[in-house]
Amino acid sequence: MSSLSGDELEIIVICILGAAIGLYLFCTGFRELKVKRTIQNTPTSKINTGAVGTNVEVKGRVIAEKDKLVRGPISGKPCAIYHIEIQKWDKDGEADSRPSSISFDPLKKHTWRRGRWVTIGSYFSDDGFYIDDDSGANAMVLVEGAKVHRDGDTVNYECSSHQFSGMDAELYQSLKKSRKKIGSFKLKDTTYLFSKDYHFREWCFVPGEELYVLGYASSNLKALRPKKPGARFFVEAKKMIRKNKDLQNKLDSNRDGKLDYYELERGAQLLAKKLATKYSEKKLEELASKTKMVFKKEYNYPFVISNRHEEDLVSHVGKMAALKIWGGPALVIGCTIYFFTSFFH
């Protein structure tokens, strides 16, 4: 039996990978279809009357304290919580389900390049937030594992991996703080030769914004207690102050144009407290007394957060389901035909 050539091995790998992706798309398409039907079949409830222990759908406004807002690391926009999505440029496009595209890249000497942006990770700025629908009760939304569907523009930032240490300071600190949440992404400079292009997308959830939440509603009413700022927050606060001229000016109490040791220490302590907590202790006690349900990710239950109208959300999820259910088998068939025509023509 003769050994396979390099080109033949490449064809086999491509066909196996393509077929596996097609099967994955087919299976996830049915999950998307299940989410669509769940949205359609679950009536919108008021928080104070929703039945805990099952799927619940509510609409409510984001609760936030004005002096506890965070800043979007890319936009600088004050918000209750932000969501960052990390994408990597894939010039081959084998790992993504979207159609291949040809993109004009001004960073690459004004040339056209073939490929696509592939999402490799995402994270929220903290554990979650509260929503209120004027029913006399509120709900806690623990965002880990939620599928986010948003209307409105994102704020974007692009950077190559050999330039990570020189990226915007606030985004760098945000990524560093959340490094355990973002999977395979590594915030580490590479050499120029092995550099990869990355795209960071930011969504902000602003105070008072109306959100649609669908998910498993638990009756576990443990409030988010304020965290005591530890050494990690203190070190991060110092780094942020040293890199941010606006913060330095605010903390320069004697107005001599520079921060002395005591001004830096005092400022770092104040900033560390702000980094460590989202709601004041008084506000948390008030919210806990009115909390009827807690939304969180549960196995085999959809978990969706969206600012879209329900009809638009159903349409979007339905299109994605149809694309995967029909596109997956088409990809498997295409890879199978390519395999046989390559070896048995």
Statement to judge: residues 108 and 147 lie in one domain: yes
- pLDDT per residue over 286-315, tens digit each? 777 788 888 888 888 888 888 876 666 666
> Structure tokens of 326?
């029909």
Amino acid letter, 158:
E
Q: How many C-alpha atoms does 59 have within 13 Å on its Cβ side?
A: 10
Residue 261 and residue 328 share a domain: no
Dist. CA 100–CA 91, nearest whole Å: 9
96/263: higher pLDDT:
263
pLDDT tens digits, residue range 105-145?
334 433 445 667 888 888 888 878 889 998 888 888 888 88
In a domain, 271, yes or no: yes
pLDDT value at residue 277: 63
Which tokens hold the place of 342?
A: 């390559």
Note whether residue 242 is domain-resident: yes
Distance CA 333, CA 335 (A): 5
Same domain, 202 and 77: yes
Check residue 273 and give its pLDDT: 58
Contact predicate 327/25, CB 8 Å: yes
pTM of the model: 0.63
Residue 259 has pLDDT above 80, yes or no: no
3-state secondary structure of 89: strand
Same domain, 237 and 108: no
| 202 lies in the same domain as 256 | no
pLDDT at 200: 92
Tell me how far apart the alpha carbons of residues 215 and 111 are, in angstroms, rounded to a whole number.
45
Same domain, 65 and 136: yes
> Per the domain annotation, does 233 fall within a domain?
yes
Q: What's the rounded mean pLDDT across residues 261-269? A: 70
In whole angstroms, give the CA distance from residue 102 to residue 310: 33
Query: Is residue 46 a part of any domain in this protein?
Result: no
In terms of domains, do 199 and 247 share one? Answer: no
> How many other C-beta atoms are found inside a 10 Å radius of the C-beta of residue 29?
21
Structure tokens at 233: 């927050």
pLDDT of 39-89, one tens digit each?
667 778 888 888 888 888 888 999 887 777 888 899 888 888 899 999 888
Please report whether residue 283 resides in a domain.
no
Phi, psi dihedrals of residue 82, rounded to the nearest 5° = -125, 160
The amino acid present at 4, given as its one-letter code, is L
Q: Are residues 57 and 35 in the same domain?
A: no
Kindly state whether residues 97 and 203 are assigned to the same domain: yes
Q: What's the domain range around 242?
A: 227-276
Q: Are residues 88 and 170 in the same domain?
A: yes
Total number of domains in the chain: 3
Separation CA 339–CA 345 (nearest Å): 10
Under DSSP, is residue 132 helix (H, G, I), strand (E, B) or coil? strand
Taking only the tens place, the pLDDT of each residue in 191-235 is: 888 888 998 999 888 888 888 888 888 875 554 444 555 565 566
Angle at 78 between CA 72 and CA 80, to 5 degrees: 85
Residue 288 within a domain: no
Residue 297 lies in a domain: yes
User: Is 77 in the same domain as 97?
Assistant: yes
Residue 178 is assigned to a structural domain of this protein: yes
Give the phi and the psi of residue 201 in degrees, each rounded to 5: -115, 135
DSSP 8-state secondary structure symbol assigned to residue 262: H
**Residue 83 tokens, joined:** 């969501």
With a CB cutoff of 8 Å and minimum separation 6, the contacts of 295 are 56, 139, 140, 141, 142, 213, 215, 216, 217, 218, 303
Q: Check whether residue 61 and residue 27 sit in a common domain.
A: no
